[in-house]
Structure 1
Amino acid sequence: MQYSFTLPAGYDMSIVDRRIRDKGPSFDGFPHLRFKAFLSARKEDSAVASAENLYAPFYLWNETEGLNAFLAGAGFAALTHDLGWPSVRTWMVWHAELAADFSTAKYASREIEPILPYADLGALRARAVSQARDDGTTGALASVVAFDPTAWTTVRFRLWDSVPSVGAGTGQLYDVGHVSTS
């Protein structure tokens, strides 16, 4: 699951940093949560080049009960009161590969790609799972692959220790402010 807030070009991103610092630890041990990566991107940041200022947390849930409890809870209500009503993207997870130290990540990448009509979903899933398993050999601390059958897209989300490269036009890089785990 991910939602994203696009913030104005002149927005004081230290407000987002403070929110992550203050709220991040409260998600440690959140019921049914595998992890939550508190993500941001800055328009003027040279290490994580972004077209926009963003606050865009990414969640991996063990159970949908956690997702439902979060979205219906006071924390999400406060967030939307402060920043607006976001579109919440959800995907059906094909595979998650997590290194023991994934919560130490400093950067994240997210790539969303379309699924062509009548694609062999079984073969696509097998390639995506194999790729996720191999991501650790290229330095990824975590790799999640999933798909959205409503929009017919795949998502590949990875956590990194150092700045990665992403595919042109399909990827977004983020700074990781905190990773909460169950």
Structure 2
Amino acid sequence: MHAMQYEITLPADYDMGIIHRRVATRGHLLDDHPGLGLKAYLVRERGLDGSPVNQYAPFYLWRTAEGMNSFLWGPGFRGLGADFGRPAVRHWLGAGLRRGPAIDGPAVGAPGVGAPATATRQIDLLPEGADPAEAVEHALAALPDHPELHTAAVAVDPARWELLSFALWRGAAPDAVPGTRYRVHHLSSPELDRLPVGRHW
């Protein structure tokens, strides 16, 4: 599994309706993309959920490197670059996955049965003397066990030694969960059921 995200930060007075319409009209294009576990079309809006910025920040869990490559070198990503400029793409190696009880439940605030409405993302730098394996094990054990949890993942960037914890929620994310908060405007999940659950080594 590979985790991937790019963030497009927009002006404070940007009409976020443009992003909403973009997702509404184009989000379905990856609903059957080979090798894609999930793509969460994430949005932050200035003044909502404590966000200081307007931002479009899709998050991906790829089942295969081939699927990820076919997206990055394909027409969809080229179109994004043509509209907003080519963003830096962050990438983490998948370390673990949990399916939550809400993955098959009714949706709240997003289309489709079991579709999530919100997401959280926490990134922590591993200290110089920390054992990466222990940190990953701790992060996996700390993945939330909550009735509103849809999917949660842990991943690592071994170049920066960053530990990523990401979670999708059917309703509002619990207040106790740390990290950046997003609203989910669409979820493409063609191969989510084929991503391995638990530790990935």
TM norm. shorter chain > 0.5: yes
Q: 2:171, 2:146 → 1: CA distance? A: 14
By percentage of residues, which structure has more helix?
A: 1
Q: Percent of aligned positions with the same letter in both sequences?
A: 37
Tell me what 2:155 maps to. Answer: 146
Q: 1:14, 1:137 → 2: CA distance? A: 32
Matched, 1:7 2:15: no
Q: How many residue pairs end up in the alignment?
A: 175
| 3-state SS of 2:127 partner | coil
State the TM-score, normalizing by the size of structure 1. 0.91
| 3-state SS of 1:91 partner | strand
Q: 2:148, 2:135 → 1: CA distance? A: 23
Tell me what 2:187 maps to. Answer: 179
Q: 1:137, 1:108 → 2: CA distance? A: 14
Q: Alpha-carbon deviations, 1:1-48, whole Å to 9, x = none?
A: 000100000000000001111111111111100000000010022xx2
User: Conserved in 2, the CA contact under 8 Å of 1:32 and 1:62?
Assistant: yes
State the TM-score, normalizing by the size of structure 2. 0.83
Structure 2 unaligned blocks of 5 or more: 106-113, 191-201
User: Conserved in 2, the CA contact under 8 Å of 1:34 and 1:62?
Assistant: yes
The correspondence of residues 24-103 of structure 1 with structure 2, limited to 5 A, is 24-45=27-48, 48-99=49-100, 100-101=103-104, 103=114
Runs of 4 or more consecutive aligned structure 1 residues displaced over 6 Å after TM superposition: none
Question: RMSD of aligned C-alpha atoms?
Answer: 1.4
Structure 1 unaligned blocks of 5 or more: none
Tell me what 2:111 maps to. Answer: none
Q: 1:54, 1:34 → 2: CA distance? A: 23
User: Conserved in 1, the CA contact under 8 Å of 2:136 and 2:163?
Assistant: no
